[in-house]
Amino acid sequence: MASARAFLSALLSVICSVFILRHPCKAQSLASCKFDAIYQLGDSISDTGNLIHEGPIGEASPCGHPPYGQDFPGGQATGRCSDGLLMIDYLSQAARVPFPDFYLNWSAAFTRGHGVNFAVAGATAMPSYVLAEMNISNPATNSSLGTQLDWMFSYFNGICLDKADCVSKLKHALFMVGEIGGSDYYYALFQGKSIEEVKSLVPQVVMAIKDAVQRVIGYGASRVVVPGNFPIGCFPIYLDRFEADGPSAYDESRCLKDLNGLTAYHNELLQKAIGELGKENRHVVILYGDYYNAFASMYRGGPSFGFDMSWAQKACCGSGGGDHNFDPNRRCGAPGVAVCPDPAKAISWDGIHMTQRAYSVMTDWLVHDLLPKLKCNASLIGN
């Protein structure tokens, strides 16, 4: 019987490896890592409530009002910029850890120790004042990556007696530093900067992320995932704004090549920075979270995941019809803006954020990619 079980286990592993691009294997999970907490930094891809509790501007965010959250348990708009769960939620489920409370939830029992979500929708990697010097404004929040790191420091300062105590408390925690940087590029592009001008920002954005990872390690993190950015040239909001005349501007998936090239450049520099951090911190596992290829594999295998590819580049919650169902003047959450019949068959929720189903598929891909690299059976502390 033991040999039969071993054979079946090996066969399942082979099947997962061969068919992961089409059918993510639910049997794979982060439970074997025995994480007891997840700490998240980032932007609207990960925010579970911070922005809408930050002040009047945040309170007015559509993400805090229906139809956002319509597929979340209980049908509540929680501040998640989707119809339901986000990747951080699915990662928590895969790790069998309760959802980390968002930092500005003053009623949260943080002493439970299941982690904290510091991400803020609209947050940038670079401080707002640095972007302002480049004539780039952030209309959503001043809680950039640096501010989130300060929050994290305050939190750990409150639960740790000293550095050694923090190292001990965090030895079974997973740290997610991002996805972030997408908002830096978004604000710059939509405020009139050319792609070449925005490309010149990439080294500074990546340096801000690299510095953040080093700070997180300084707090005591031993396993860190640093996600890259998505291929924004496939997103309805960008396809609508930067629609090109000729077919040469698009790739075989009808995504904008120059915008995807910008993201690819960011991801390339980010991976180099992660490699450098790994050499400087050999006692820490620092991994690149390949959100770009998680999205690409989902997009290529769309029908096998149940997606209606006629909606692949359309906002499920949007207006205007046409190729993208996106009107910048009547976005999701505005009066009279409808939701598509079945969000589970759509990739994009509101033109810039994705549906719960899309986040689920991409998380499955990500977990399968990361699990062998996390060294969950290795003892890192003190090595």
User: Catalytic: 369?
Assistant: no
Catalytic residue among 114, 266, 324, 353: 353
Choose the catalytic residue: 101, 184, 350, 364.
350
- Spatial separation of the C-alpha atoms in residues 68 and 176, rounded to whole Å: 24
d(CA 283, CA 285): 7
Spell out the domain ranges in the chain.
31-304+358-373
Catalytic residue among 43, 44, 114, 360: 44
Tokens of 172: 């079974």
| pTM (2 d.p.) | 0.91
Identity (one letter) of the amino acid at 34? Answer: K
Residues of the chain with pLDDT under 70: 1-28, 109-112, 378-383
Identity of the residue numbered 348 = S
Cα distances (angstroms) measured from residue 74 to each of 85, 303, 338: 12, 28, 20
The predicted pLDDT at position 29 comes to 82
Parallel/antiparallel/unpaired status of strands 317-318 and 338-339: antiparallel
Is residue 44 annotated as part of the catalytic site, yes or no? yes
Res 380: pLDDT: 52
Residue 242's pLDDT is what?
97
Diameter of the chain by CA atoms?
Answer: 68
* pLDDT score of 172: 94
Known catalytic residue at 43: no
Asked whether the beta carbons of 44 and 353 are under 8 A apart, the reply is: yes
Q: What is the pLDDT of residues 269-321, one digit of tens each?
A: 999 999 999 999 999 999 999 999 999 999 999 999 999 999 999 999 999 88
Amino acid present at 201: L
CATH fold, domain 31-304+358-373, is Rossmann fold (3.40.50)
pLDDT of residue 375: 82
* Cis peptide leading into residue 236 (ω within 30°): no
